[in-house]
Each structure stands twice: as structure tokens, then as C-alpha cells.
């Protein structure tokens, strides 16, 4: 099972770019990296997913180095509504399908 490590919290200001890094040293060959966003009292919501290099969608970018032992979620020009907890999740391909979330990174965006 690929364990993930993220910073507990981060602070930013509106309009800035935010980069949240997740460490996953034991990532398996077939694992994908997925990021979720969670607002208080709501279920997590899918943001972005990638396997290697760079992935970009309308919400964020995901950077994955060649060794895949870490990944960085990049949120361009954050707003107050981006204040949330962000989880990095690494999929497991053993057939067991247990998916473990870490404690996540609490992002606080200030005006």
C-alpha cells in the first residue's frame, strides 16, 4: 500500500498560485495519483489524476517527476472558495482495492 505524506496546512492569498506536494515513495508501477478537494461537511470531490509528467485541466495542474515518488498539485490564482482540505491518493492494484486517504492538506486562502 502506497502511503502518502502531505503538509498538514498551507496559507495563501487570493490571486496567488498554490503548490501542494505529496510524497509517495512506495508507489507501484500501475498506480495512478489522484487529488481530491473537500469542503467542510461535504464529501471529497475529484480534482485531477495523472500517471506521469504533467496533467492539466480547467481547475488545476498536476506535476509528476520521472521517479513518481512525489507529485505536486498546482492551483493557479486561488480564490477564497479554494479554502478546503486537499487529499492525495495513490491507487492500489493488488485486487484488494483498499484505498487509503492520508490526513490531507488544509489550505486557507486569505483575502
Partner 1 sequence: EAQVTQNPRYLITVTGKKLTVTCSQNMNHEYMSWYRQDPGLGLRQIYYSMNVEVTDKGDVPEGYKVSRKEKRNFPLILESPSPNQTSLYFCASSWRGRGHTNEKLFFGSGTQLSVL
Binding mask 21-50 for partner 1 (x = CB under 8 A): ---------xxx-x-x----xxxxxx--x-
For the bound state, the minimum distance from the C-beta of residue 43 to partner 1, rounded and expressed in Å, comes to 3
The residue from 11, 14, 17, 93 that contacts partner 1 (CB under 8 A) is 93
| 103 forms part of the interface with partner 1 (CB under 8 A) | yes
DSSP codes, the chain: ----B--SEEEEETT--EEEEEE-TT--TT--EEEEEE-TTS--EEEEEESSEEEE-SS-EEEE-TT-SEEEEEESS--GGG-EEEEEEE---SSS--------EEEEEE-
Amino acid at each position: 500500500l502506497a502511503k502518502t505524506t502531505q503538509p498538514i496546512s498551507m496559507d495563501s492569498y487570493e490571486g496567488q498560485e498554490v503548490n501542494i506536494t505529496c510524497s509517495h515513495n512506495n508507489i507501484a508501477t500501475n498506480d495512478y495519483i489522484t487529488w481530491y478537494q473537500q469542503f467542510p461537511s461535504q464529501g471529497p470531490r475529484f480534482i485531477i489524476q495523472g500517471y506521469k509528467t504533467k496533467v492539466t485541466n480547467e481547475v488545476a495542474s498536476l506535476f509528476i517527476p520521472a521517479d513518481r515518488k512525489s507529485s505536486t498539485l498546482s492551483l493557479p490564482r486561488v480564490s477564497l472558495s479554494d479554502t478546503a482540505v486537499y487529499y492525495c491518493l495513490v491507487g492500489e492494484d493488488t485486487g484488494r482495492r483498499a484505498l487509503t486517504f492520508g490526513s490531507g492538506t488544509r489550505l486557507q486562502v486569505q483575502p
